[in-house]
């Protein structure tokens, strides 16, 4: 299952994804053209490939989706969206989430909200991001998109949010899905066989 976690800047999606990673979720590492910040780690936070390489990858049709956000490119490789046995977490901006949902309707989309404006500003200032005003301006439009997501979680505490996401995954797994078709067929065949005996 692929779980998309999206939010305006500074609400805590990266923190939550890193915590989920500690408990057996696989975090999808995405690509960016922006330079690496000193505290970031190559291939852990992003694949930092620069603008030229990013353009080359676009031409090669390498990305399932890419966006231009806050003056930089961000993209997700097609390969990273292929399924394996683990649940995958993808943190992505809101416009990117909508694009992925369109091409992969089976992804589960979660929108993170801050507990309050004051707490959000505290968190966003800790990250020392540039383009603060652009981020806040974008957030007005982004908050309106919450209604297009399947779930919304208010990110009060890391532990609570991680627990809520685990609960969502359990519920999603219990939904009637195509992959139980074979099991249902087998059960029905056996019921009929028993009746005939």
Ligand X SMILES: Nc1ncnc2c1ncn2[C@@H]1O[C@H](COP(=O)(O)OP(=O)(O)OP(=O)(O)O)[C@@H](O)[C@H]1O
The residues of the shown chain that bind ligand X, judged by CB under 6 A, are 7, 9-15, 123, 126-127, 129, 155, 157-158, 161
Minimum CB distance to ligand X smaller for 70 or for 80: 70
Q: Name the residue number minimizing CB distance to ligand X.
A: 12
Minimum CB distance to ligand X smaller for 116 or for 148: 116
- Closest to 112 measured CA to CA, from 92, 87, 86, 135: 92
CB of 135 to ligand X, least distance (A): 7
Minimum CB distance to ligand X smaller for 80 or for 164: 164
CB of 59 to ligand X, least distance (A): 27
CB of 73 to ligand X, least distance (A): 15
- Do the Cβ atoms of 107 and 2 come closer than 8 Å? yes
Question: Quick one: which H or E segment has residue 74?
Answer: strand 72-77
CB of 44 to ligand X, least distance (A): 14
Residue 113 has φ and ψ, to the nearest 5°, of -120, 150
- Do the Cβ atoms of 91 and 3 come closer than 8 Å? no
- Closest to 80 measured CA to CA, from 66, 68, 94, 69: 66
Minimum CB distance to ligand X smaller for 2 or for 20: 20
Minimum CB distance to ligand X smaller for 27 or for 129: 129
Structure tokens at 176: 């009637």
Could you tell me which residues are beta bridge partners of residue 34? none
CB of 175 to ligand X, least distance (A): 27
- Do the Cβ atoms of 57 and 73 come closer than 8 Å? no
């Amino acid at each position: 299952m692929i779980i998309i976690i999206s939010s305006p800047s500074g609400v805590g999606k990266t923190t939550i994804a890193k915590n989920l990673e500690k408990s057996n979720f696989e975090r999808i590492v995405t690509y960016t053209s922006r330079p690496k910040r000193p505290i970031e780690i190559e291939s852990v936070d992003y694949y930092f490939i620069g603008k030229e390489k990013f353009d080359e990858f676009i031409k090669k049709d390498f990305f399932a989706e890419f966006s231009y956000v806050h003056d930089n490119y961000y993209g997700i490789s097609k390969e990273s969206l292929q399924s394996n046995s683990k649940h995958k977490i993808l943190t992505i901006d809101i416009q990117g989430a909508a694009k992925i949902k369109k091409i992969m309707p089976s992804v589960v989309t979660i929108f993170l909200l801050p507990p309050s404006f004051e707490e959000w500003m505290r968190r966003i200032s800790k990250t020392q991001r540039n383009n603060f005003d652009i981020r806040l301006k974008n957030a007005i439009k982004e908050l309106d998109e919450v209604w297009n997501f399947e779930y919304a979680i208010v990110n009060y505490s890391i532990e609570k949010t991680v627990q809520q996401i685990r609960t969502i995954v359990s519920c999603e797994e219990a939904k009637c899905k195509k992959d139980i078709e074979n099991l249902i067929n087998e059960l029905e065949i056996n019921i009929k066989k028993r009746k005939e005996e």
